[in-house]
Amino acid sequence: MPARVRQWLKNHPRWTCLLGLMLLVILLDRCFPPPIPNLNQDAATVVLARDGTPLRAFANAEGVWRYPVSLNEVSPRYLEALRGYEDRWFDYHPGFNPLAFARALMQAVWHGEIVSGGSTLTMQVARMIEPIPHSGVGKIRQVIRALQLELRLSKSEILTLYVNLAPFGGGIEGVQAASYAYLGKPASQLSHSEAALLAVLPQSPSRNRPDRHPERARAARDKVLNRLAEFGDWPSGVIAEARDEPVVARSLRPPMLAALLAERLKREHPDSRRLHSTIDATLQRAMETQLAQYMQRLPEKTSAAVLVLDHRNLETLVYIGSAQYGDELRLGHIDMVQARRSPGSTLKPFLYGMALDAGLIHSESLLLDVPQDFDGYRPGNFGDDFNGPIAASEALRLSLNVPAVDLLDRVGPQRFSARLAHAGVDLNLPLAAKPNLSIILGGTATQLEQLVGAYAALASGGMAGSIRLLQTDPESRRQLLTPGAAFIVRNMLADHGRPGDPGALIDTSRRKQIAWKTGTSYGFRDAWAIGVTPEHVIGVWIGRPDGTPVPDQYGAATALPLLIDLSERLPGQARFTDVRPASVQLATICWPAGTLATDNADGSCRKKREAMLLDNLAPPTLLDRASKASDALTVNYQVDTKSGLRVSPGCSDQPSLTLTKTRWPVLAEPWIGQVERDYNRLPAFAPGCQSESLSPSDSLRIEGLVNHSVLRKAPGSDEPVRARLRAIGASGRVDWLLDGRWLAEQGPAQSFDLSFTRTGTQTITALDEQGRFGQIEVRVE
């Protein structure tokens, strides 16, 4: 130290002592700083709805419920009540209020006990961040810590610590957690009465808890209101209204809406403390309640999942991952929105859309719902019924399996799977397995959320999307179908009408229009229903999470009724109002050709249908598998102009005429009736010309019963009527059907034992691989 400095300090002992004291204070302050906490480091996590309503709250590692907020996120009413009641001079004192401190000391001496603490908000923060005993020495220590805080932090920062650390009982810290827990709302939405209540509650959180002691809480609140009225902080009218407001608090429990979604978001965003989801809290609560009521009619181990998407922006409005969160019997902890399950028939709309885009079909194309073999894969329908020739729109609405497998075989399973994967629908297959024809009937696995995102394409110009769960999630879409194909498929599904009203007898003009599709996985393990409304996509899954089959539970019976009920709760417009794309045209087409009615002036227009075409294309009916590749439905042939008999080139010197006929597919003949079968026959050949080959219906006959037989039970017998049948002239495998319902498959020389379980007129059909068939009609009495 320079000599002059030493001399000055020696000549001024008082200044020397003061400087020494200051240096000591600074040294002690640096050595023992106040433990200012990082509010985000050990904060709890809360998942919020789109309007700020808490969906679910999670305590931190110490079991404390605290959700950090800034002062801007707290109602000004609360800050006014807090300052007016706790520390009116907060903005002016250095950390402690000497006048209040002196008053408290005098009251303690006079009464022999502490009457008022005289603590400022800064001193209270000091005690919140560090355990300080309630004693004289503790009070001095508290003042010192308050001074340290004032030196380091601004008034706003100190107040922020208070609103986040103040104790509210039950392990709750901070006004945000208290507002969520007791009032079910964020601290930004407090009324004057609620603000006064929360301002006083930290003084005695256990004694004045509003959920346990509402009268004490009311008295404490009124004490705050009286103080604010005394100093004119709030107008008298506001004070009077606040006094009249009852103290109503929820039982102290964390919110539990969209519980599995909250767990998912917390797991996916571990560093975030407040997660702002896209969930509509009102809809979520209503649909959770409705689902719980619906599940009462189902077996106790059955669970369910519901997902509601706004297809205009892909925001998820309702996310229910299980029928009842925490229900052990229903495995309520498993999120079935994310679980991979067999989709059943829910992929069929995308197949029909791709077939439209590929130019294979239009909306009314003639497809064949008949027994067919696809290289050893022989699909059947639900219930084993076959419908014969059927329009593409009806085949989709009825969810028929054979037409879907036929289309997938033509589109290509790998191409179909790749298009879905590009749009966000991943189909799980066994290791090393390639996509095959079974995937269209549920022989794969995917997720409810992926299906719902894909169905958004039907109302969004063919653009599928990934569902958005957080408000910060980007909107991501990918092309799945062209706008025209998506529009046609959606209209095909919307023509379902509403279940329970097949004749459209109910006025549904004010009810929600919905295009829906159901699905059921093999063995009744998964029941699905997915619907598209003018603004939303709704997905429903019902089944057992452990994969156990649930007999008699299938999409149309179990999931669809719930889907329709939930759709009625959705806000927004009731009818689709989007304009038909320019690529979609309405036209009249003809069966069996499948082409425009104007192209069938030769008498081949056996049946007209109104169809939606894509890009003005009317693809002809697809050739069935019983026909040779060189065959065609439309044939040209020559007839003798005099006799009308068929001739071939060079076999007759008589004048001939060339005619054209479009015939029904070979496999359709058992279903088209005798008039159309006669139409399908070409004229017989003239003498000396080529012999006509046998037609399918003439080349196979049923032996064992005579056509139009009447069958009766033996007198006194309870046994059903039986008959042993055989197909004569069959080639390859023979399918036996009764009234269009598949019964069995037999070899060409094998006999078939048929039991008649009901009475009345019935039709027996035997159909071989080449499309040859025999058909007889019997009456059972």
d(CA 292, CA 323): 6
| Alpha carbon 273 to chain centroid, angstroms | 26
Would you state the pLDDT for residue 603?
A: 73
Buried b (16+ CB within 10 A) or exposed e, 306-322: bbbbbbeebbbbbbbbb
Q: In this structure, what token pair is assigned to residue 105? A: 């000391």
- Minimal CA–CA distance to 117: which of 95, 92, 135? 135
* pLDDT bracket for residue 504 (50, 70, 90): very low
Q: Residue 694: pLDDT above 50?
A: no
Cα 619 to Cα 446, 602, 614, distances in angstroms: 32, 18, 10
Backbone angles phi, psi at 724, to 5 degrees: -105, 120
Of 159-163, 350-354, 664-668, 687-691, give the lowest mean pLDDT range: 687-691
Instruction: Give the CA count within 13 Å in the CB-facing half-sphere of 203.
Output: 22
How far apart CA 463 and CA 457 sit, in angstroms, is 4
pLDDT in tens, 77-105: 999 999 999 999 899 888 877 776 666 66
Least confident residue range of 140-154, 238-252, 501-515, 705-719:
501-515
The DSSP output letter for 412 is -
Q: Alpha carbon 17 to chain centroid distance? A: 76
pLDDT: which is higher, 543 or 147: 543
Greater confidence (609 vs 726) lies with 609
Q: Which of 584, 655, 573 is nearest to 616 (CA)?
A: 584
Residue 503 has pLDDT above 60, yes or no: no
- pLDDT band, residue 21 (cuts 50/70/90): low
> Strands 45-48 and 54-58: what pairing?
antiparallel
DSSP string, 419-486: HHHHTT-PPB-STT----GGGGGT-SBEEHHHHHHHHGGGGTTTEEEPPB-BTTSPP-EEE-S-HHHH
According to DSSP, the β-strands at 515-520 and 446-447 are unpaired
Would you kindly state where each structural domain of the chain is located, as residue ranges?
1-32, 45-244, 584-614, 634-692, 698-780
pLDDT at 20 over 70: no
How much of the chain exceeds pLDDT 70, in percent?
Answer: 90
pLDDT over 70 at 697, yes or no: no
Q: How confident is the model at residue 502 (pLDDT cuts 50, 70, 90)?
A: very low
Q: Which residues pair with 660 in a beta bridge?
A: 636
Least trusted range by pLDDT, from 336-350, 524-538, 561-575, 589-603: 589-603
Q: What are phi and psi of 306, to 5 degrees?
A: -135, 135
d(CA 91, CA 83): 9
Is 211's pLDDT higher than 50?
yes
Residues facing residue 753 across a β-bridge:
724
C-alpha to C-alpha distance for 37 and 158, rounded to whole angstroms? 11
What is the DSSP code (8-state) at residue 179?
Answer: I
- What are the backbone angles phi and psi of residue 331, rounded to the nearest 5°? 50, 55
CA 258, 259, 261, 262 torsion-angle sign: positive
Is the pLDDT confidence value at 240 over 80? yes
| Dist CA 509 CA 521 (whole Å) | 33
Q: What is the SS3 assignment for 663?
A: coil
Q: Are 614 and 484 in contact (CB under 8 A)?
A: yes
Helix 413-422 vs helix 348-357: angle between axes, to the nearest 10 degrees?
A: 100
pLDDT at 56 over 60: yes
Note the pLDDT of residue 143: 86
User: Is the sign of the CA dihedral 216, 217, 220, 221 positive or negative?
Assistant: negative
Q: Where are the alpha helices (DSSP H) in 310-385?
A: 348-357
CA-nearest of 388, 387, 369, 364 to 379 is 369
- CA quadruple 681, 687, 692, 697: dihedral, nearest 10: 50
Q: What is the pTM of this model?
A: 0.82
**pLDDT tens per residue across span 321-336:** 999 998 999 999 999 9
Quote the CA–CA distance of 299 and 672 in Å, as a whole number.
Answer: 44
Q: Other CB atoms closer than 10 Å to residue 36's CB: what's the count?
A: 16
pLDDT reading at 427 higher than 90:
yes
> 735 pLDDT exceeds 60?
yes
Q: How far apart are CA 338 and CA 395, in angstroms?
A: 30
- Return the closest-CA partner of residue 166 out of 63, 32, 64: 64
pLDDT over threshold 70, residue 627 = no
Q: 698-780 belongs to which CATH class?
A: mainly beta
DSSP string, 760-778: EEEEEEEEETTS-EEEEEE
pLDDT: which is higher, 717 or 235: 235
- Whose tokens are 């679980």? That residue is 339
The mean pLDDT of 301-323, rounded to a whole number, is: 97
Give the per-residue pLDDT at 83: 94
Which residues are tagged catalytic?
Answer: 86, 345
CATH architecture of 45-244: Orthogonal Bundle (1.10)
Q: Mean pLDDT in the chain?
A: 87
Give the alpha-carbon dihedral of 596, 601, 603, 608, to 10 degrees. 30
Stated as kind and residue range, the H or E segment containing 282 is helix 281-295
Q: Evaluate if residue 447 carries a pLDDT over 90.
A: yes
Question: Tokens for 110?
Answer: 């006079």
Over the stretch 279-308, which tens digit does the pLDDT of each residue have?
999 999 999 999 999 999 999 899 999 999
Residues 456, 457, 462: CA angle, nearest 5 degrees: 165
What pLDDT sits at residue 661? Answer: 84
* Winning range, highest mean pLDDT, from 297-301, 362-366, 568-572: 362-366
> Is residue 126 a contact partner of residue 132, using CB atoms and an 8 Å limit?
yes
